[in-house]
Chains A and B, each alone.
Chain A
Amino acid sequence: MTPPTPTPILGLRLTPMPLVRGGWTRVIERTFVVYRKAWLVFLTGMLEPLFYLLSIGVGLAALVPAFTLSDGTPIGYTAFIAPAMLAASAMNGAIFDSTYGVFFRLKYQKLYDVMLATPLRPRDIAVGEIVWSLGRGTVYSAAFVLIMVAMDLTSSWWTWLALPAAMLIGFAFAGMAMALTTFMRSWQDFEFVQLAIMPMFLFSATFYPLATYPEGLRLVVQATPLYQGVALERALTTGTVGVEAVGHVAYLVVMGVVGLRIAAHRIDTLLLR
């Protein structure tokens, strides 16, 4: 065997390494490296809401009579449902990333254990994951809004705020979903996620107006976060914005912030034992 020669690899460095500023960007960078190889998966993620829109716009809309908006203007079924699809896909994307994705990395891949052996902190991980999820959601939402405009499904300059609104919806659900994920014990628990999302998707005034429901049920529907998102997006793309919009925004902001705080705290107690 050759005698060991000191190589630059094994240097003894006495100057302390500077702390990582914006450690969360490093968490995103890793995801970016992974997705660079799976760009097709990234791109096709955009198609799902579009398929829904086309299915309903091309096929179902012919069967459904026009609805009237809160101010009495009639609206075609495709234009009625498009903002709801935008809100629902923002929710779905955020929840998928923050539940299955986070659970896999937390419990199976042990990725967060690895990250925490470096100067990165739990906060960096939570923020990094949510910002990535938001970034991806933003690309998808932007494509969807452009398609809505191209298909002439919007009727107001407020439409340009539909994109930031979709980002807000993504943030709200990502924060809360990540917080819930830290409490999950096994994949079986994710059945409950399905059990929460699916009814919300179906009943949050997505496919028909809130007025369809009897009075008491209406309050229940209005309390759900997706209803808040759908109502906000529909007000923006149809140009029927009122003071309620402030309430919708406040609801979603609080939900996201609370979720994010719980998630960072829980990752802390789960991993730094």
Chain B
Amino acid sequence: MSTQPGSLEMVARQWDYFRTLFRRTWRGSIVSNTVLPVFFLLAMGLGLGGYIDDGGSSTIGISYLAFIAPGMLATNAMTMAVGESTYPIWVSFKWEPVYSARIATPLRIVDVLNGLVAFLLVRLVLTCAVMMAVLVAFGTVSSVAGGVGAVLMCTLLGLAYALPVFALSASIDDDTPFALLFRLGIIPMTLFSGAFFPVSQMPEALQWVAYLTPIWHGVESARMCTTGVVAWLPLAGHAGYLAVWVVAGWLLARRQFTARLADG
């Protein structure tokens, strides 16, 4: 028997499939990933921001547009990552035997998982880069390095959400948990994570809850990068915290994928 090819080789073998999928769906994603954020920045950053900046009572130190722009970048990455790792993954497990078909080839379960992660990673980078171009157009990014840094941090943030959700999608039979995940998880995390107002406005107990969510770390680090006010130690702390979620999520996802696919 020949030796088992490496994981990278196995991911590469799934590339054509993902490329075809991407070609079919990228137009829809362009709409939600660029047009809608532009609208959002116009309405909230410029429209409402005009009142906030003129009001003089602002405690945020920078223009409201510059404040929410990195918040948008981060919440957008989270929403996209969770969206792509809920229904599409669940449908493939439950309704279309896509993954079972794939492991009937030399691909192992872990290769299937890594293929999905790689595909999501590519789309996350693209989505964040496109968003970054919008942010640059609005004049809210202080340096090239800051822009690149924010894209990288938000990509990491996206994975920190996607991997645990992969595990969830592989575990459930009906889709009710998704509705609860969005309503009780993603929406409040979007609204109370420091993206639209500083978490210091909230009661102290809630601030601590916010510190535990990956999104807060994503928003904070993205804001450091785009505004150019970088504190290196906290930035490393944010990145480390998000990396823990990615690794733990990957381990959990591998376990759940194996449990689901091994039973047939």
Give the B-binding residues of A (Cβ under 8 A).
38, 40-41, 44-45, 47-48, 51-52, 54-55, 58-60, 62-65, 67, 188, 191, 194-195, 198-199, 202-203, 207-208, 212
Contact = CB atoms under 8 A, between A and B. Distances in A.
A195 B183 contact: no
Given A40-B176, A62-B201, A52 B35 contact: no
A48 B183 contact: yes
**Of A44, A59, A195, A212, most B-chain CB atoms within 10 Å:** A59
A191 to B, nearest CB: 5
Contacts of B44: 202, 207
A64 B191 contact: no
The size class of the interface chain B forms with chain A is 35 or more
Contacts of B27: 188
B43 A188 contact: no
Contacts of A45: 183
A178 B55 CA distance: 43
A62 B197 contact: yes
B216 interface: no
Interface in B191-234: 191-192, 196-198, 201-202
Given A40-B180, A51-B188, A199-B39, A63 B57 contact: yes
Given A41-B179, A51-B188, A51-B191, A212 B32 contact: no
Nearest to B55: A65
B161 interface: no
Interface stretch (B14-22, B46-54, B98-106, B247-255): B46-54
Contacts of A55: 191-192, 196-197
B28 interface: yes
A71 B246 CA distance: 54
B187 A194 contact: no
A142 B202 CA distance: 27
B31 interface: yes
Given A38-B176, A207-B48, A60 B197 contact: yes
Contact of A52 (B43, B191, B201): B191
B58 interface: yes
Contacts of A195: 31, 35-36
Contact of B184 (A47, A199, A207): A47
A263 B20 CA distance: 36
A59 B202 contact: yes
A128 B252 CA distance: 43
A44 B183 contact: yes
B184 A44 contact: yes
Contacts of A47: 183-184, 187
Contact of A191 (B31, B55, B180): B31
Closest 7 CB pairs of A and B: A59-B197, A202-B43, A65-B55, A55-B191, A44-B183, A59-B201, A191-B28
Contacts of A202: 39-40, 42-44
Contact of B43 (A51, A64, A67, A203): A203
Contact of B51 (A51, A59, A65): A65
Given A194-B32, A208-B50, 6 more contacts: A44-B179, A47-B184, A59-B192, A60-B196, A63-B55, A191-B32
A189 to B, nearest CB: 9
Contacts of A51: 187-188, 191-192
Contacts of B42: 202
B259 interface: no
A198 B79 CA distance: 15
8 contacts: A41-B176, A55-B196, A64-B48, A67-B51, A202-B43, A202-B44, A207-B43, A212-B50
A197 to B, nearest CB: 10
Contact of A59 (B57, B188, B196): B196
Contacts of B25: 188
A58 B201 contact: yes
B58 A63 contact: yes
A162 to B, nearest CB: 23
Nearest to B54: A65
A61 to B, nearest CB: 9
A215 to B, nearest CB: 16
Interface string B162-188: 000000000000001001100110011
Contacts of A54: 191
B45 to A, nearest CB: 11
A124 to B, nearest CB: 27
A212 B58 CA distance: 19
A58 B202 CA distance: 7
B178 to A, nearest CB: 10
A63 B59 contact: yes
Contact of B47 (A41, A52, A63, A212): A212
Nearest to B50: A212
A187 to B, nearest CB: 9
A269 B176 CA distance: 33
